[in-house]
Amino acid sequence: MVSLKQVMEDDIACKEWFLPGNACCAGCGLEIALRWAMKALGKHVAMVTPASCLNVVIGLWPKTAPDFPQFNMAFAAGAATASGIDAAFKAKAYKFPGKGWDKMVSMTFAGDGGTTDIGIQGLSGAAERDSDIIYVCYDNEAYMNTGIQRSSSTPHGAVTTTTPFGKERFKKNLPAIVAAHDVPYVATCSVSHPLDIYEKFKKAKDIKGFRYIHIFAPCPPGWGYPSEDTIQISKLAVDTGFWPLYEIDHGKFNLSKPSKKCLDPSKRENIIEYLRAQKRFNQISEEAINYWQENIEKTWKEIKIELEIQENYNE
Ligand SMILES: Cc1ncc(C[n+]2csc(CCOP(=O)(O)OP(=O)(O)O)c2C)c(N)n1
Ligand code: SF4
Ligand SMILES: [Mg+2]
């Protein structure tokens, strides 16, 4: 993996593209996610943000936080707008060669509600067309901006304002759904591992076609934990095996370094540590905890099978 020293040698990465003084809450995961994505991408980016916390925290022009072009957009049009902007970049590059238009990247940066629920049809359309865009979902596991309503990315047992006794249904596996579209690149990240975010966005920047990156991005007020614990919580999500870090690069599944230890069940942290650290799981039942444990087992069995298939295929 890239080292912090290597990143610090890159002038583009040393600059802050998402400026301080924005309206994010202290400890907001989405801010870390966007800052590190932009450190890898640099200035040749136009970002589309469907309705979300991000949409609001950027502020009002001329005092907006992104130091690069950004477009607010209606929920359902997140992916389609980025596809249209990319088409415009390509037309400009054709008409004005040598002016740098060919370097421009069109990116959607959407919340989990805007991705797993309301934007999924546009996302699926862009993925199926293999639109030349980067689609990012920052996942805080609920509709935070409107007061913590459950989304299909909210996990089992979590209390939200629309699931006061804990959500019954499970967390939708969106990276797997996007991967089923056979797109060039799918990756998962966590704000606890910024160098992994940096490396995956660097890679995604140089790939042509549809690229999807799903970033685990905790939210202190929505999940009920002290703002200084964001990194600890997101690290526990990785170390318990609940949120595996991987990439699927042109069909090849690669387990990322921070998650490799989770192949050994004895090296995984206990999921109870993760659940107890957040008020949203205060009233979680024994039955729900068992469900979490079984689900993590199942996930890792599937990862092992995938790695074995790949090994046999490469022989
Ligand atoms: C069509 C439509 N329905 C509802 C809303 C109200 N709304 C604005 S932001 C938001 C929550 C978005 O949740 P998510 O995508 O998870 O982003 P987060 O707020 O968690 O960052 C909602 C429901 C809207 N703007 N447009
Ligand atoms: S409510 Fe959560 S996601 Fe929204 S700005 Fe605050 S910490 Fe970030
Ligand atoms: Mg959300």
- Our answer on whether the CB atom of 248 is closer than 6 Å to any ligand 1 atom is no
- Check residue 315 and give its pLDDT: 67
For the stretch 95-108, pLDDT in tens is 999 999 999 999 99
Ligand in closest contact with the CA of 110: 1
pLDDT at 175: 98
Q: How far is the CA of 250 from the centre of ligand 2 (A)?
A: 33
CB of 146 sitting under 6 A from ligand 1: yes
* The pLDDT of residue 61: 86
Q: What is the pTM of this model?
A: 0.98
CA-nearest residue for atom 2, ligand 2, is 219
* Per-domain residue ranges of the chain: 4-314
Residue with tokens 């040393």: 14
Residues of the chain whose pLDDT is less than 50?
A: none
CATH class of 4-314: alpha beta
The Å distance, Cα 54 to ligand 1 centre, comes to 10
Ligand 2 binding residues, C-beta < 6 A: 24-25, 28, 30, 53, 57, 140, 144-145, 219-222
> Which residue's CA is minimally distant from atom 1 of ligand 2?
144
Backbone angles phi, psi at 181, to 5 degrees: -85, 0
Between the alpha carbon of residue 118 and those of residues 9, 25, 152, 257, 294, the distances in Å are 40, 24, 10, 33, 29
Pull the structure tokens for residue 315: 């022989």
> Is the CB–ligand 1 distance for residue 113 below 6 Å?
yes
Query: Which residue, by CA, sits nearest to atom 6 of ligand 2?
Result: 25
- Please answer whether residues 275 and 281 qualify as being in contact, where contact means their C-beta atoms are separated by less than 8 angstroms: yes
Closest atom of ligand 1 to CA, residue 140? 20
Q: Is 53 in the pocket of ligand 1 (CB under 6 A)?
A: yes
